[in-house]
Structure 1
Amino acid sequence: MKNRKIVITGGPGTGKSSIIHKLEAKGEKCLHEISRQVTLEAQKEGIDQLFLEKPLLFSEKLLEGRLKQYHEAKDFESDHIFIDRGLPDVVAYMDYFDTNYPGVFDKTCENHRYDLIFILPPWREIYTSDNERYESFEEALKISSYLYSTYRRYGYDPIEVPKLSVEKRTNFILDKI
C-alpha cells in the first residue's frame, strides 16, 4: 500500500517530537507538528497566545494546516509517512477545553482517514514544560484521555507505544508497520 498515513499522537510532553526526529534520522518521511508554527504566525500579527485568546480561530487554523498535511502526504514517494498529530487531535483539544465548534470539524475527521495511529502515554519522568507548552502534568493526563477517546470515537484503535528509550520506542513503531 502506497502513502500510508501514520499518525504519532499523545498528550503534551510524551516524546512525539523526539520520536519524529529519530524516525527522520533513520530516513523515514515525516511531517511535523504545526501548532507552534500557528502560534508564532499569530504572534507576528500581534496576538500573543492565539490558542487562549481566540481558541476557535486557533483550532480552525490547525484543522486547515493538518488537512493540508494530510493531502501533502499523498505526494511523497514512499509507502508510508509519519505525521506528528492528526486531524482528530484538534477535536480532542477542543473537547478538553469545552470549546463549541461547527460540524465541519467532525466531517473533516470522518472524511480523511489515517492508516495507523500510534499514541504515546503520559510519562511524568520525561514531561517538561516550555514557552508554548504551559499545561501541568495533570492537565497533560486529561488531554491524553481525550485523545484516546476521540480517536476511538472516529473508529481508530490506537496502538500504545511503551515507555522505553527514544530508540526503542522508534523501533517499536517501525516493527509494527
Structure 2
Amino acid sequence: MRRAVVTGAPGSGKSTLLAEVARRGVATGEEVARAILQAPGGMEMRAERPTGFALAMLEAQCASWEHAGEGDAPILFDRGFADIVGFLRLEGLPVPPAIDAVCRKYQYEGPVFHAPSWREIYRQDDERIQTWEEAVESDAAVLRAWRDYGYSPITLPFADPATRAAFVIERL
C-alpha cells in the first residue's frame, strides 16, 4: 500500500490532476476541506472558528486514511495531514497537539507531489476565496509544513492534465 499526496497552492490544478489520474485507474481521495466548506455552516466555521475547521479536516482526513488502508493499490490523496498545519500557520494559529501527533504518526509512503502556484489557471470560486496573493502565501505555508514533517515534495510541471498525470503515475 502506498499513500501518496498532491499538495500545493489553491487553484493550481490539483483536483483536475486527480480526476485525470482517477480516469486512468488510480484510486484517489477527495479533498476533505472542500467537502467541509460545501456542507452547511462550513464556510462560517472556516471564517469564525479556524481551529475547529482544522480539527474537522483532521477528523475527515483520518477517516479517509483509514478507508484507504482497506486495499492494496496505491491511493493519491488531494492534500494531506501537513496541509492542515500549513493552514493553521497561515492563520497565525498554534497547531493543536492532536494534529501534530497525527502528522508524526501517519506517514505517507508514496511521494508528495507539489502543485505550485500557477497564475494562468488560478480562479476563485465559492470555496476558493483566497486572492492570488493569498494563494501564493498558502502554497508557501503548506510546502513548509510538509518539509517540516520530513517530506521532500516533488514539484509538478506546469503542463496539461494528461502530462501531469503521466508524471505522477510514473512515480507511483
Is this a same-fold pair by TM over 0.5? yes
Which structure 2 segments of 5+ residues have no match? none
4+ long deviations beyond 4 Å: none
Partner of 1:81: 75
Distance 2:140 2:15 in 1: 19
Which structure 1 segments of 5+ residues have no match? none
Deviations 1:61-119 (A, max 9, x none): 001111111111111241x1111000000010100111223211111100000022001
Residue 142 of structure 2 aligns to a residue whose secondary structure is helix
Q: How many residues align?
A: 171
Residue among 4, 7, 10 paired with 2:2: 4
Partner of 1:93: 87
Distance 1:37 1:171 in 2: 27
**1:117–1:156 contact (8 Å) kept in structure 2:** yes
Give 1:127-142 correspondences, 5 Å limit: 127-142=122-137
Partner of 2:118: 123
Identity, % of aligned positions: 29
Give 1:146-161 correspondences, 5 Å limit: 146-161=141-156
Distance 2:43 2:157 in 1: 36
Distance 1:137 1:167 in 2: 25
Whichever residue aligns with residue 152 of structure 2, its letter is D
Give 1:95-114 correspondences, 5 Å limit: 95-114=89-108
Whichever residue aligns with residue 159 of structure 2, its letter is L
Q: 1:104 to 1:52 in 2, by over 3 A?
A: same
Query: What TM-score results when the alignment is normalised by the length of structure 1?
Result: 0.92
